[in-house]
Structures are given as structure tokens and as C-alpha cells.
Structure 1
Amino acid sequence: MLKKLNLLAVGIKAALLTGAVSGSAVMASDSGEAKKVERIQVTGSKIKRFNLTSPTPVTVISGVELENQGITNVNDLLAEMPQATVGLSPETTTNYIFSSGLNTTDLRGLGSERTLVLVNGRRFVPGSVGGTAVDLNNIPTSMVARIEIATGGAAAVYGADAVAGVVNIITKKSMDGIEVDVSTIRPEQSGGEENFFSITGGMEGDKLSFIASLNYTENKSYTQLSRDFMRTPVNSYLNPANTSGEDGIPNRVVLGQPTALAYYSEGGDFFTQGGFDDNAFNNHHYTFDENGNVRAFDYGLGRIPNPGVGNPSRHYIQGEGQQGDGVFGHGYKDYFQTPLERVIASAYATYQLHDEHALTFDFTYSNTEATSESSPAFFRHTIRRDNAYMKDDMAKLLDDNGLTSVTLRQANEHLWGDRTYGQEREVFRTSIGAEGFLNDDWGYSAYVQYGRIEQDTLWEGEVLTQNQINAIDAVEYNGEIVCADRDAQGNVIGALAGCTPFNTMGATSATQEQIDYIGTTATRFAKHDQVVFAVTVDGSLFELPAGYVAAAFTAEHRRESVTTTPSENMEKGLIFGNSSLAMNGEIEVDELSTEISIPLIEGMRFAQDLTLETAFRYMDYSVTGADDAWKLALNWGVTDDLRVRLNRSKSVRAPNLGDLFTPNSKTFDSGRKDICRADSITASGSEFKDNVIRNCAADNMPTGWMPTDEWLAGGSLPGYIRGNESLENEVSNDHTIGVIYTPSFVDGLDFTLDYWSFEIDGAIEYFGRDAVQYCYESNSLDNPFCGNVVRNEQTRNIDYFIDKPINAAQFARKGFDFESAYRTDIFNGSLAVKFTATYLTEATENSTGRSDDLRVNLGEMESPRIKARLSSTYAHDDSAYVLTVNYRHSTVESNTWTLEDNNYNDIPSYTTFDFMYKTYLLDELQLRVGINNLLDKAPPRNPFAYDDGEFFDVKGRRISLGAKYTF
């Protein structure tokens, strides 16, 4: 038997070669003697191959690179790759309810749901109930052998969701001995510390080989104001010098007060003591002292006037918290990172039944806990003149201005505390499989897999809305202060039974009885089950003059189901801002796929080899029906040094369970806008104005129609998020053209250059209240958006909007990937350099499918033209020095920017440096010390970017220390 290939060397050698040595086949040599030849399985194909050439672009990341970066989460490394960006992370989910702490990757910026994450070539249970995106928190880094990123035709091989590509995480399969690893990361500024521990052990026997691992990680939270660049923020404000939209003077400019840490809008913010103003008070702003006495509002550093109609004045509060009145200031109780704690237990085992048959087993259990924090519950209270707690000064103020009530804006910070969303996720996944050979030419792999995620959510600091309304409407009745029971005219006719009255004017505390009546918690239990049965056979069909025609045939059945159970107060919509109904949904899919690799030419001039790669997958979904995905590719070895690959494919993404079956869940949209308002139509300069006039009239809004005053004063507009069982699969048309060059005259050097293109039609998109605009701007009311707008039959006010997904959007991403690796011996050691870059040539989206709504995102902050990563490792004796450089090109905030908008549209380029030193003090003991963000690079000093942890490093310089001991 030929010696097994060194897989690590293969992965490093070309950055396009991958694969687990998963079997051998018997081939005849020129002498007629049978020899065993290893077959390599490459990500992007289920055919085990006799050469080392990937049919699709594949980037390989060794598991050692996680160690070299001091990284304990797979997503932290993927986020640095030019092909990917962050989907969700602890930095981007600090205010998310059901997603706090999730770590998902996003290839090509097309969305995490369009990136298929596999573990050893198999699907993994979703990270969030109802979704498909995998939470990389559940992947133990100590078990990662390598990560392979493949694009082009992946859906035909692996199924739906692989629109942007596949991230295939290959785990270690066995080891001899025990390995203990501990590490910690300590930022230079307080908060954001990370601690990691793992113990991994295994055995390699004649029959049984296995590996098992236990990982523990703790990521601590840190506030925005813990970082120095956030304590001197980059704010902007409306430019007083601006006179019109055509004077060449920007409407907004950067505020030149770096010590101003908070700002508030008069008439729009909520204050801990309660605050109010009204035109009847000549716009004077009032609040209360701790004793409930009315006093003038404290503006801190004073107000900066904003010109223009409808633009509120701003005032600024100095200090790192609150020196002055109010809440919700800059950085106030905002977090850069959600606290996250996780434990992962995993194992993989192989039992050799026979020389040609083996059983496999793998198991993963993960428990993660994360907590996100939001602002305290905030309200607009109606305080009537007959309120029993109203003091004389407040009563006189109302009487002098002819008022019988006032609207009090208040955040319940001191009363019920901040709202927190605690998440506990438990993931269980296991599979049992068999693999081996059917004969000399054909092998097989079969498995059954079960996975479940259970997600418990606990809301704290919540308020029973109606109870609070009842408690605040306190009056004196029969000599006692009670909660008012009023008739239709507002007259007090008695006391509400079981109600505890409460004085909110200037309140800084509440009694336990009041807390029990008004405050509450809420819960939701959710689970998502995944069952997969699959079998693949692969081998050689027959021989052509250029070689063997290889094929793989796969049959797969998958069932996914989801159940959510909210608490009673959630289900009945009794608490502030949140409601959710129980959800039950299930989807099943049967899939058949075929791959065939046909060698066309071999051994000719300018055609060392030419292979046609084909794949076809048939999918039958229980909800969306039948669909297919396919791939046609050419793999052309021009010379020994030069190879060309071309790929044309169709990919699909099926709607997930959340898209399909989410029940009504309450949401809100700020402001009271309605495109059918007479004043809105009059001021409109839209090219769709005629459509709006015609459609609003057709929807029973008479000429000159305006919403009622009550509706206009109603605050945020309510809506409901819900699923859509009428959704269809998304379709993506993909192209890749690649060149691989390994110059024979320079040993250890290789280059790859790939052009790629993704065009997605019928993309699933949520529109929120934008559905109102798209409904009336369309050619008629017969469009997919009008069904998401619900109006009152009498007043024609919008009662609520429905935020359900629609197959209406289009996305396009195109660009080039460049990768190069060089290895050489130097100074009695070895140097390995790897450079990876993506150059984006097109990034567009169209939410409605209308040509006029096409938006060009290329060069904006989310879609920089260039992203690059350079990693260099110098190894000498028992030590290694690793330097990594990450770069993102300069961008703009908006491609539609004009000088009239602002004076800060440009966002500069951003580069960070990481360094790691590793050495072995003993053969068994490795020590590591590194510095991430070596130069302490803060986000760009731009109002759009300075606090953005999605694209920039907000943690700052930090030291990484680690040790690994092998028994």
C-alpha cells in the first residue's frame, strides 16, 4: 500500500487542495500489479479523487491558525478571511432578544442563511430555533483539524442554503495521548477578558480509534464607555450654516465637542424622573426632583439649535453617565460585547469491522449562556389633573395653561431596572455511520444523524403595560388613594379591584407591592430538531482513453421541526413591547444527487488533462415543492505549472422554518408616517407620485385625506412579524473562472486567481413598514406588499403593518479572489507566507425587483472593494513567530452622497497587526504569548464608524497567553 499523503502538507501546498483520506481503491499499475492508491475527498465534491486538484475554489485554514491567532472561536478567524464577514457575533447582538451571543459566518456578505456550514461534510443543527445558520460557538476549537471554504456549485453537491458557498469544518478523528490547553486574553482596557480551557485525549488502536474533548470558554462583556475612543465620541449635528438643499453647504457636520458624551431630542426622549413639555408651555421643558416637585430641565452643557422644520433642538450632557437630566445618552449602558459562557463536549470514534468496512460515531453536546441588556422600559404616561399624587406646583402649571392632562415621558430605570434578555442554548448532536468498499472500484458511506437545540429565553425588568396604566391613574376616592375606574366620559365611578396605585412623578423607587403588581418577567422555551438519513456510493463507472469516469450518487432524507412555548404574559401580549404566540412547524425534504467527473483529454500539449465536472441534485420539499440545483465545470491542466477551472451552476436556498411558520410576534416602528397623507403627497418629488395618488384613491382614501389627530399622536406604529407559507425557494445563478499557477522555477510558490459571480432572484426579504411605501408606489394595489398593510375601515388610519417575508428581492455580488503561498528555508529555519485577498467589482441589491429601486452597495462600509489578509510564520528550532496583517479598503457611508448631505461620508482604510510567539520549553510543554491589535488601532473617527464592532476592532490592544501540555 502506498504511503498515506501528509494532509497538512497538502493543505499548505496549494490552498486549493483539501481532503480527508477517506478510503482507497485498487488500481492496476503499468506492470499489471495491483496497488492501493489513496483517494482524496475534496470539499465541493463527494467524489473521492486520485489527484489533488479541486474542481472548485477552496481556501484551506489549518486548525493551527486558530492557535496562532490566540483565537478560541472559529467565527473570530472566519471573520478575518476576505471572503467572509460577521453574520452575528457577541459584538453585534448586544440588543437582540433571541440571538444574543450567537456566532455565525457570512460568505460574500449575502447573509448567514445563504452560507452552509458543515462538520465533516455533514449538516449541523442550526444555532437558533427556526433558522439554518450554524452557531460556531458549538464547534470545539481543540477538535478542529482544518477549515475549508468552497464556492461555486456547492448547492448541487450539498443541498440548499449553499448559495454563497460552504464552510466545511474538518475535525480530528483520533489521537494517541492527552492534551491540556489553557489560555487567556487580557485587553489593555478593562472588560472583554476571555478565558479558555480544553482537555483532549484519544487512542489509536488496530480496531478502535477515538478522540474526545471538553472545551470551556468564558467571554466577559464590556461597556462602550470602557474604551477611550468612546469617551471622546465623534458626534454630528445639523449645521446651522446650512440654508437650503442647494447652497453647497452640508446639512450635517461633525460636532467639535469631544467631551460631550450624550445628547437628547426635546420632545422625543424619556427621562428617569419623568419629563414633559408642550406647546402650551411655550416649549419649556420640565421634570421632577426626587420629592416629586416640578423643576426646569437641566440641559447640562446647553443646547445646540438645529435649523429646519421638524428638526428638534439637541442638548448635550457632560460626563460618563448622567450629569444633567435624562437617560439614553451616548454610550449610556450600551455594551460592545454580550457576555458569553460555553461548555462543549465532543467525541469521534472509528471501529474497524473488517479491512474494508468500519463503523463511525460522533457526538457533540454544547451549552452556551449569553445575556444582552436593553434600555429600561419606557412609556408615555397620561397624567390627569385629578391625579391624587399631583403636587400643587404641577397642578398650578396645568391650570395656568388651561390643561386637564399632560403626557409624561419616562424610562423606568430606577423602578424596574434595565431589561435583560438571558439566553441558554443546549445543543445535542450525534451520528452513527458506516463506510467502506463494496468492491475494488466502489466505496460507500452511510449515516443517520440526530440533532436538537433547546433555547430558553428569560426577560427581566419587564412591565405589565395595562397594570402600569391602571396604577398611574391614581385618584382619591372615598378618602383613599385608589386606581381609578372611569366611565366612557372619563369620570371616576369607583376603584379597580386588585390594583396598587403608584406615583410615577419623580419616582426613584417602588414598594414591593407595586413591583409585584406592575413588574414581571417573561419566558420562552423553544426547540429545534433535525434528523438526517444519507447514503453515498462513489467510484469508477468505466475507463476512457483519458482516464476513469468517476461518479458519486447520494440519497438523503432530512426532517426539521420546531416548537416554541412562550409564557402566558408573552402569548397574551401583556408586557411592554413584546408578544409572541406558540409556534409549531415542520419541513421534510427528500434529495437525490449525482456527480460525474469525465476525463476528456490527457497528455496533450497545452492540455495535460481536461476534465468535465457535472453535478445535479433533485430536492422535494414538503412545503415549497420540487426544485433542483446543478453544476457544469471544466478542470483544465494547461501545463504542469498552469491550471484553469470554469464553473457554471444553479443554487437554491429554501425558506427556513422561521420564514415559513413564525406566528404573530409584536414589533414597533418609530414615527407615524403614511405615504397617503395629503401633505406627504403634496411634498413628494417621487417619480412614483402618480401611482401613489391613484392607489391611495383606490384604497378608499379621499382627496386631501389625513390621518386622525389621535393616530398622529400615537407614538410608535405597531406591527406583527409572522411567517409566510407561500414562500418559494430562492434561485442563484453562479459563475467562477479560476487560474492556478505553480511556477516550477520557484520552489514553494503558488498563485490562484478566481473570478466569481452570484446573482440571486426571488430572494426572501422582510420589509417591515417599508411595505406601506412599496404597496402604494406599485402600478396597482395588486402586488405582494399591500397584503402587509392593515387599515381601519372607517378612518383609513394604518392599524398595523405585517412584517412577513416575501420573494421579492434581488442580490448580486461579483469579484475576484487572489491567494498566494510561499515557503522557503531561511536563516536555519523555515518561512511560510500566505496572502489572501478579495476584490469586489459589484455589490447591488434590489428589495422590490423594480429597476428604479436598484441600490449599489459597492464601496460602502459593508462592501469594501478590497479586503486582504497576510499571514507569515517563521519557525526555528522549537519556536515560531507569527505575524498577521488584516486590511480593509477605504469606503464611504453612502454612494448616493452629495455635499449637501454631510462633510464626513468618507471612511478611511483600516489595518490591524497581530503577533504570536510560540515555543516548546519541553517536548511536552508549549508556551504562547501574543498581542492582538498590536498598534491599538481604534475604529475610524467617523460618526458612521467609530462605534461599529461589526467591521472594526473595538476591543483594543490585548495580550494573549497560553500553554499546552501533552501527555
Structure 2
Amino acid sequence: MRSRNWIGGFGISMFALAVSSMPAVAQDQDRAADAEEARDTVILVTGSRIRGIDPTGSPVIGLGRENIEMSSGTTTTEILSELPQVFNLGATDASFTSANNQNANRTAGTGVNLRGLGTESTLTLIDGRRVAAGGTQSQYFDPSVIPTMAIGRLEVLPDGSSGIYGSDAVGGVVNILLRKNLDGAEAMGRVKFADGFEEYQAGAAIGKDWSTGSLLVAGEYVERGTLFAADRSFYTDDLRPYGGPDLRSEFSSPGNITAGGVTYAIPDGDGTGLTQADFTAGTRNLQSAYLLGAALPPQERYSFAGTFEQDLGNVFSVYAQGVIAHRESIRPLGPLSAQFDVPTSNPFYVNPGDPGDRVTVSYSFINDNGSITGEGKQDFIHVTGGLNADLGAWNANVFYAYGENKERSSNPQIDNAALQAALADSNAATAFNPFSSNGNNNSATIAAITGGEFRVDTNYYIDEFGASLDGTLFTMPGGDVKLAIGVSRQDINWQDLAPFQTDLNRTVDSVFGELFVPVLGGEGPALNISAAVRYDDYSDIGDTTNPKIGVNFIPVDSLTIRGSFGTSFRAPTLADTGSPFNQYATFFDSDNVARQVLFLRGGNPGLEPETATTWSFGADFEPDWAPGLRLSATYYNVDYTNRIATPGNDRLALQKPELAPVITIGPDLARVVEIIEGGLFSAVPADPSDVYALVDGRKVNLGALKTEGLEFIGSYNGVTDWGGWRAGFNAAYILNFRRSIITGAPLSDVVDTINNPAQLAARAYAGADIGGFSATLFAKYLGGYENDTVAPVQDVPSHVEFDLALRYRIDSPFAIMEGVTFTLDVEDIFDNNPPYVQNGNLAFDPNAHDMVGRTVALGVRANF
């Protein structure tokens, strides 16, 4: 491992510069007169490393406390997802299909996906610091672990920013700024309910703000109940009521026999004494794959956060902050199922075809042990602290940050060895009878068969330290030329504890710089240019240099024209490069026939970083003749290459010709035996000759993506004699989203197709305030798209939902209380069910449409 000396020496030098400047700084009486004002006004804004300037060339969407308290969202992630720039594609607790690798999201987290580029391509920070990643094998950070009571502001920068922040900032950056200046206390509680669904939230924050510092502590508890599939008619695989096919599974109870290529439904009963006369060729028993399962899993979350700041005289100040959170989800999964051969030694063996020949049974254990549950837990810690030095025209900072994210998940599964032994058992008292549907199998035998477990347990640790210096170099006629420079080192450790043990480490040394030049200013037009560059050296994958250039031109005070250009990258995570394993799994061919495959999964040590070129231009308009009116428009362009993907991680891969490069039909038996004998299996096939195909579902650098789009934001706040009113909108329009998932394949525009971004997403609002009463009506629009996974292609209509937020505040109702606010939120007022979509074996699309429906939330918030 390389020495840290060069970074430490630089940081010590910067700190020495701060100390040597103390006498001169101490004489600055004007700045020292009001330390609190200095703390509040000299700030860093997301998108720049230079204090006191707005990001140049890039738009920043800000959500303050008022926006947070007006939102009906329970968690930070839900609040962010109300922005059209955030797509519900990728890791989400509402969908666990193979689309966008969602079935790897075993702890039911939800990440932020800016511009549809993926949760792993959006960088989430807490007050500008990196945090320990989690979810889907440490691919992203779930902001829902941050208590909303502790958040002062959310800033979203939808622009490539690796030149400033490094890896992952391809789609953009989300910066969560914690509260620091609360003087008093707040408490809130809310209950949310819908048909078959409920959620409870409680939180509190207490703080003290004094002339030279502040302290705040906040906590929150959220409990969400289970929304069962049976409580939503559209959460089904029987699509006949919608004019579609019946896609219920042959893994049922009673089950089905396949003999000689012919299917026979097993008759209902105890499965004893069956003869050929009891079966009818060509019949099938069917059972919903969602029977007894959850559409939306329950979650329990508690989290705490704290911030502290203190000036040490006129020069130095110290700060610290931390977040600790625990999230748990125990999700009903429905019954276990399996497909297996029944040997003639089984005392209940029967063959409706040719006696003595091979018999394959598709079976559900629903009547043997009911529904199973999968468990996911997450424990998150983030702490950081540092020292600032105010050197007059310059500011210096040294910091240290530590984070950890521990995830544990467990799903019951069939113990294949126990199943094979029970099938071969010749003792009728202990053998497994797969022809019974009465649940009358030996309890110990069933316990052994269903006693398997599949775990994915990971630990992610990150510690980072660094130093930075920013301030004024010199003054030009247009203003101050400012510079920021800094260094940092990250030490990352990722541990896969199960199913196979892996312990990987990485060190990242970084140097960055940013220059701000006000070319024009004063009385006439203004022209500002910023140039940033960042160098990152990874101990395991090499180095990368990424620049970013931004330009703001202000021809008149009310109009800003801006543009940006830069390169971005995403380094493969340690989970991407390690922990390979294999799995014996069921895939479905083009005739929807279940096929047994060897499924290669996990990491790939040969991965390279993803790279992207991004540029944008836009305009912001705030006319003097209409105070309160703000309009913004942005065009963006992203060219994203060498993307890391798992194209083979798709249970329908055998049905997709474009995935032929990662699929081998009828693999060589010697190759199959070699893989099996190589170990690293979560389930080993009983017979190598049963393997129909070899599917490579490992992570590979195969993908490419080019996209361009438009974003529009507008707001108008007005004041009248009777109160105030407001209106606004935020819309994202994707011009194209051209993608290939296999190297060399032509790019195909997939915008407005299922499991990909819709071309138009928008949210508008209108509201009014009269005295202590406030009302806001929201409208959410998602454009229609095509379901091209079925023939003929299905046109899915656009979808509109309306939400209502009512607030009523009473000032000083009691001597100890400053105010109390009562809240009523109604989401999806008209209970607009999602449109029918044949989404695999599901009748709607959880990536595009909410499944909960009309939701009512009652709450109260008190200030002390």
C-alpha cells in the first residue's frame, strides 16, 4: 500500500499556513464582529469547492425545510423522488424483478437515480462528504436512513461532476445538508394509511444556537406495514381479466408431472395409491407466484443525527456531525417451490406415461410449511469532523470522515441434498411424497427440505481524510478571482461474509483544483468562468483525470445563460470486482418452458471504470417586472461508455436473441462438470446432464448509452391583501435514450419503452396561504410508453395523479410552545389505478406506477 506522506505533508503545510496567518487575521475587526453571520453566509454550495459562489454552468435544485415539511414523503428518498429528474428505475423497495438488476436488492433499499442513468451513477453526499455505500452489493447509498428532522436542505445537481467530486457523479450529485442553527425544539408525528396499508412516523429535533456555535440532535422512527399482493387486484399473474394470458405458475399444490414431454395435473388428495387412470394428459394445475407474498415489504427504521459547530476565537472553528441508523424488513415471499425428478425408489412413485421412466414434478410447498419470509437488515454509521481556519481572503480546512454500512439478508430456500435424500427414501413414513396436496408429509422431512438458507451479508467501511484551501487570488475589474485546491485519501474495505467470504481493500488518493474567473462584471454584462479538474489514483484499477468547465453569461440582471462541459467516471466497486459465485437456477425459454441452467454470477476482477462525457447549456430568468417569477430551462447531453452491466441476470434471457453472446445452449458436459467441481455454488445441480444452458450473468463492461434531454423548472410566488399564492412546475423531457447492452451492437433508442425512462415526466403545483391555513394541490404526470416485451407491442397510456397538502398553523397555543401545525396529505386523490401492463408475469409496471393508491396522512408538528 502506498504511503500517505504526500497527502499528510500537504495538509500539514496548509495547516501551518493557517497558523502563521493568525496575527494578521486577528486584526480584521469587521469580520470578527459577527461570527454567527460569517458562519451562515460563507458557505459551500453543491457543485463548487469555492466558498461563497454559486456553481458556474450547472443548475442546482434546492429543497429547503419548507419544501420538506410540505412534502407527503415519509423518507428523504421519497421526498427526492418527487422530482421528475429522479427516476424510479433501479434499486427500489417497490420492485424486485430482474429489470435493472432489481432482484439483487435484497435489503429493500431505494437509491436515487438522476436522469435515468442508474442509482450507481448518482453520487449522494452528506454535507459534501462521501458515505459508506450499501444496497445491491454496495452499489449506492439509500438516503432514507437520514432522519428528515435533521435535514436543513437538499441540493440536487443533475449534471456530471466527477471533475469536482470524483467517481459516481455521472448522472449528478445529491447533497444532504444537515441542520445546524435550530434554537429550540421540534416534534412531529404522522400516521399514513391506505386500503390494506399503514405507516407510522415520529420524530424530534432539539438544538441550541449561540453567537459562536450551535448544537443539534434529531431522531426519527418509521414503521411501515406490509402491502400484500392479494390486496391489489392488479398485482397478479393471472392476466385474463385484462385480456391477457394466464401466467400463473406450474409450481403449485397439487403439482404437475412432466413425463415424456407431456404434462399431467396431479389430482388433489393425499398422493397415495395413484394410478395412470387418475391423470389426464395435457392438463395443468396453476398457482399464483404471488400467493401469500408482499407487494410492498414492511420496513422499520430508526435513525439519529447530530451536528456541532464552535468558533475558537476569530480564526479557528471546529465542527462535527454524525448519523446512525438501523433499517429492517421482513418480507413475506410466499411458498417455496421446486422442480425435481422422482426416482422409482420413492414409495409414492407414479408415472402416468411409461412406468419406470423418468418423472419430473413441479411442486409448491404451500400446504407443507405455508409462506416463507425473507429478512433484510441495514446498520449505517457516518461521522465526520474537522477544523476550519478563516484567514481573511482565504479559508483552510482539514477533515476526517468515517462510515460503515452493514447489511444482512436471509432468504429460506430448498436444501437440495435433503430433498434428493427424501425423494430417494424407500420408507413411506419418512420419504417425501410430492404427489400429495394435503400437507401430510412427515414434518421432520419437510423441515429438512425447506431448511436451506441463502444469505448475502456484506460490510462496507470507508475512512477519508483531507485538506483544502480556497480563497481570492487577486481582483480583476469583474471581481475576485478565486481558487480552491485540496487533497484527500480514502481507504475502503468491502467484506462479503456470505455466501462466500471475500475481503477486499482499496485506497484512493485524490488531488483537485477549481478556478473561478469573473471575466466581466461591474455595471455591464457579467461573464464568469470556472474550471475544475480532479485526479484520482486507485490502488487496484489505475488512475483517472477528469475536468469540468462551466460558464455563466449574464447579459442583463434578470437573465443568466449557462453552459458546462466535463468528463465523468464510475469506478467499479469492490463488489463489482470480487465475490464470484455460481447458481443452479430456472430460466424460461421462448415457449415459457422452465429450463435448468448453470447461472454464473457475482464479480469480475477484470472490470474497468465506466466513462462519460457530459455537456449542457441553459438559461435562468428572473424578471424585475414580475417579482417572484423564476424560469429555468436546461439541455443536457451524456455519452456514457464501458458501462458495467449484468445482461445475463434475466430470468427471461433465453427468450432474448440479443443476449446470445452470454448464453450457451446445450453446453459441453465437461465444461459443466468443470464449473460444478470448481465450487462457489449456492445450489449444485443433482445431475450435470440436466443443465440446458450456461448463462453468464457476471458483471461485464459491455454497455453504452447516449442520451439527451430537456428540463424545465418554473415558479411564481405572489402576495395579495388576503395572503399569498404560489404555482410552479418541474418537467423532464428526454429527447432520446440510445443504449446497447452488448459490445458492438448498434445503439437502440429505448426511451418510452418498459423498464426504461418515459419521455416526459412532470410535476406541477398551485397553492395559497390565508392566515395560518395553507393548501397546495399537486399534479403528477408520467407519459405513455410502449411495452415491447409482448407481441403485438402494447401501448401503455399516460398516467396522472393528484395530491393535496393541507396545513394549519396556530401560533403560541401554549406558553411553552411557539406553534403547532396540523397536516393532512392525500396522495392519489382519485385512487387512479395503474394501467394494465403485461410486465413479465405481472399485470402492472411497478417501475412506472405506484401500487398503494389513495393514501391519507394525518400529522402534527410542534415547535418549542
Q: Displacement, 1:547?
A: 1.8
**Which SS does the other structure have where 2:42 is aligned?**
strand
In structure 2, C-alpha distance between the alignment counterparts of 1:231 and 1:326, rounded to whole Å: 13
* Residue in 2 that maps onto 1:948: 845
Q: 1:536 to 1:871 in 2, by over 3 A?
A: farther
Asked if 1:336 corresponds to 2:268, the answer is no
TM-score with structure 2 setting the length: 0.85
* Residue in 1 that maps onto 2:490: 558
* Residue in 2 that maps onto 1:112: 119
In structure 2, C-alpha distance between the alignment counterparts of 1:534 and 1:298, rounded to whole Å: 76
1:511 to 442, 465, 481: 442
1:93-108 equivalent positions in 2, closer than 5 A: 93=96, 96=103, 98-108=105-115
Among all aligned residue pairs of Structure 1 and Structure 2, give the percentage whose two residues are the same amino acid: 21
Letter of the 2:729 partner, please give it. Answer: F
In structure 2, C-alpha distance between the alignment counterparts of 1:185 and 1:714, rounded to whole Å: 41
1:346 to 305, 311, 335: 305
Q: Displacement, 1:551?
A: 0.9
2:576 to 631, 652, 659: 659
Structure 1 contact 272–411 (Cα < 8 Å) conserved: yes
Asked if 1:717 corresponds to 2:611, the answer is no
* Residue in 1 that maps onto 2:854: 957
Structure 1 contact 583–663 (Cα < 8 Å) conserved: no
1:916 to 780, 802, 805: 805
Asked if 1:194 corresponds to 2:182, the answer is no
* Residue in 1 that maps onto 2:685: none
* Residue in 2 that maps onto 1:629: 546
* Residue in 2 that maps onto 1:471: 422
Unaligned runs of 5+ in 2: 1-23, 674-690, 813-818
Deviations for 1:369-404, whole angstroms, at most 9, x for unmatched residues?
0123434332233233443235xxx47x56xx4544
Letter of the 2:643 partner, please give it. Answer: A
* Residue in 2 that maps onto 1:848: 742
1:272 to 253, 269, 276: 253
Q: Displacement, 1:49?
A: 2.7
Q: Displacement, 1:860?
A: 2.1
* Residue in 1 that maps onto 2:269: 289
* Residue in 2 that maps onto 1:929: 824
In structure 1, C-alpha distance between the alignment counterparts of 2:42 and 2:230, rounded to whole Å: 55
Asked if 1:431 corresponds to 2:384, the answer is yes
Letter of the 1:271 partner, please give it. Answer: S
In structure 2, C-alpha distance between the alignment counterparts of 1:598 and 1:789, rounded to whole Å: 64
In structure 2, C-alpha distance between the alignment counterparts of 1:416 and 1:65, rounded to whole Å: 48
Of 904-913 and 379-388, more deviation after overlay is shown by 379-388
Q: Displacement, 1:906?
A: 1.2
Structure 1 contact 275–288 (Cα < 8 Å) conserved: no
In structure 2, C-alpha distance between the alignment counterparts of 1:160 and 1:794, rounded to whole Å: 38
Asked if 1:409 corresponds to 2:302, the answer is no
Q: 1:611 to 1:671 in 2, by over 3 A?
A: same
In structure 2, C-alpha distance between the alignment counterparts of 1:661 and 1:203, rounded to whole Å: 47
2:511 to 592, 617, 620: 592
* Residue in 2 that maps onto 1:815: 709
1:854-933 equivalent positions in 2, closer than 5 A: 854-861=747-754, 862-894=756-788, 901-902=791-792, 905-923=794-812, 924-933=819-828
Of 157-166 and 97-106, more deviation after overlay is shown by 97-106
Q: How many residues align?
A: 802
Letter of the 2:502 partner, please give it. Answer: M
In structure 1, C-alpha distance between the alignment counterparts of 2:542 and 2:632, rounded to whole Å: 39
Asked if 1:204 corresponds to 2:209, the answer is yes
Structure 1 contact 913–934 (Cα < 8 Å) conserved: yes
In structure 2, C-alpha distance between the alignment counterparts of 1:877 and 1:775, rounded to whole Å: 60
2:431 to 501, 506, 509: 501
Q: Displacement, 1:748?
A: 1.4
* Residue in 1 that maps onto 2:463: 531
In structure 2, C-alpha distance between the alignment counterparts of 1:216 and 1:295, rounded to whole Å: 59
In structure 2, C-alpha distance between the alignment counterparts of 1:427 and 1:199, rounded to whole Å: 20
In structure 2, C-alpha distance between the alignment counterparts of 1:272 and 1:788, rounded to whole Å: 31
Q: 1:229 to 1:473 in 2, by over 3 A?
A: closer
Deviations for 1:321-376, whole angstroms, at most 9, x for unmatched residues?
xxxx54235x4234220111000011111122122211111111101001234343
In structure 2, C-alpha distance between the alignment counterparts of 1:133 and 1:912, rounded to whole Å: 29
Letter of the 2:628 partner, please give it. Answer: G
* Residue in 1 that maps onto 2:732: 838
Asked if 1:726 corresponds to 2:606, the answer is yes
Q: Displacement, 1:505?
A: 2.3
Structure 2 contact 199–222 (Cα < 8 Å) conserved: yes
1:694-705 equivalent positions in 2, closer than 5 A: none
2:373 to 399, 420, 423: 420
Q: 1:443 to 1:509 in 2, by over 3 A?
A: farther
* Residue in 2 that maps onto 1:10: none
* Residue in 2 that maps onto 1:13: none
In structure 1, C-alpha distance between the alignment counterparts of 2:511 and 2:666, rounded to whole Å: 41
Deviations for 1:393-441, whole angstroms, at most 9, x for unmatched residues?
x47x56xx4544422221122224434220111111111111231x211
Q: Displacement, 1:119?
A: 1.1
Larger radius of gyration: 1
* Residue in 2 that maps onto 1:614: 531
Q: Displacement, 1:859?
A: 2.2
Letter of the 1:635 partner, please give it. Answer: N
In structure 2, C-alpha distance between the alignment counterparts of 1:298 and 1:137, rounded to whole Å: 55
Deviations for 1:809-843, whole angstroms, at most 9, x for unmatched residues?
11112111111111111351111222111111010
Deviations for 1:256-279, whole angstroms, at most 9, x for unmatched residues?
8xxx9x6546xxx22223321435
Q: Displacement, 1:46?
A: 1.0
In structure 2, C-alpha distance between the alignment counterparts of 1:556 and 1:844, rounded to whole Å: 36
In structure 1, C-alpha distance between the alignment counterparts of 2:700 and 2:114, rounded to whole Å: 22
* Residue in 2 that maps onto 1:368: 327
1:246-325 equivalent positions in 2, closer than 5 A: 255=243, 263-264=247-248, 269-279=250-260, 284-290=264-270, 292-294=272-274, 325=285
Q: 1:777 to 1:511 in 2, by over 3 A?
A: closer
Q: 1:202 to 1:509 in 2, by over 3 A?
A: farther
Structure 1 contact 196–217 (Cα < 8 Å) conserved: yes
Of 757-766 and 936-945, more deviation after overlay is shown by 936-945
Q: Displacement, 1:146?
A: 1.7
Of 616-625 and 449-458, more deviation after overlay is shown by 449-458
Letter of the 1:42 partner, please give it. Answer: V
In structure 2, C-alpha distance between the alignment counterparts of 1:454 and 1:336, rounded to whole Å: 25
Deviations for 1:717-739, whole angstroms, at most 9, x for unmatched residues?
11121312221111110011011
Letter of the 1:287 partner, please give it. Answer: P
Q: Displacement, 1:740?
A: 1.3
Q: 1:792 to 1:596 in 2, by over 3 A?
A: same
Asked if 1:81 corresponds to 2:83, the answer is yes
* Residue in 2 that maps onto 1:12: none
Letter of the 2:750 partner, please give it. Answer: N
* Residue in 1 that maps onto 2:51: 48
Deviations for 1:41-76, whole angstroms, at most 9, x for unmatched residues?
2211011135x5754111112233232232211111
Structure 1 contact 879–919 (Cα < 8 Å) conserved: yes
Structure 1 contact 845–854 (Cα < 8 Å) conserved: yes
In structure 2, C-alpha distance between the alignment counterparts of 1:115 and 1:716, rounded to whole Å: 36
Structure 2 contact 582–598 (Cα < 8 Å) conserved: no
* Residue in 1 that maps onto 2:10: none
In structure 1, C-alpha distance between the alignment counterparts of 2:342 and 2:807, rounded to whole Å: 66
Q: 1:230 to 1:561 in 2, by over 3 A?
A: closer
In structure 1, C-alpha distance between the alignment counterparts of 2:538 and 2:392, rounded to whole Å: 36
Asked if 1:148 corresponds to 2:155, the answer is yes
Letter of the 2:747 partner, please give it. Answer: L
Q: 1:39 to 1:879 in 2, by over 3 A?
A: same
In structure 2, C-alpha distance between the alignment counterparts of 1:519 and 1:775, rounded to whole Å: 33
2:642 to 759, 762, 780: 762
Asked if 1:452 corresponds to 2:404, the answer is yes
Q: Displacement, 1:874?
A: 1.4
Structure 2 contact 91–105 (Cα < 8 Å) conserved: no
